[in-house]
Amino acid sequence: MAEINACSGNMTGVEIADALSKEFPEGLTITSFAPKRIYAQAGKEIFLDIVKFMKDELDFDHSSLVSGMDMGDRIQAIHHLTSYRNNCCLIEIVVDLDRDNPEIDSITPLYEGANYTERETYDMLGIVFKGHPNLKRIFLPEDTQFYPLRKDFKLKEGP
């Protein structure tokens, strides 16, 4: 792994984007960046490696949000991670998932704060977070057979 001194708190989004691109030349695309914001697209096969690298080497210390989106032909998992030590830099990582089997590795073992947002995303979109310590519905009853934020979800017709 590349040796990066991120603890100084002086890394900008541009420098972090550069470090990520060097460490993951394949499977990670930085779509845009600014001094405090990075937008990236990642393959699900290396997603967890990217997050571990960001936590261990780049001082990303907080999972701000885990969410998802139904794009019609695919489901996207969207993660927002923040480094308070590096000028409050935030990265958004989007991962495309198979619509029929939307699975991705859980980051809850790395960031306990991701627990509830992963569960909410599972409950509303059906994304399965592999390795989550307690992946069950958080709002809807456990026996619910639908995911209300999916585009194919239909409300029951009225009388």
- Per-residue pLDDT tens for 124-150? 999 999 999 999 999 999 999 999 999
Question: What pLDDT is attached to residue 38?
Answer: 94
CB-CB contact of 97 with 104 (8 Å): yes
| CATH architecture observed for domain 13-130 | 2-Layer Sandwich (3.30)
Q: Where are the domains of the chain?
A: 13-130
**Residue 141: partners with Cβ closer than 8 Å, 6 or more residues away:** none
pTM of the model as a whole: 0.89
Helix (H, G, I), strand (E, B) or coil at 52: helix
Question: What pLDDT is attached to residue 149?
Answer: 95
> From CA 128, how far away is CA 137, in angstroms rounded?
11
pLDDT in tens, 73-124: 999 999 999 998 887 889 999 999 999 999 999 999 999 999 999 999 999 9
Give the range with max mean pLDDT: 14-23, 29-38, 72-81. Answer: 72-81
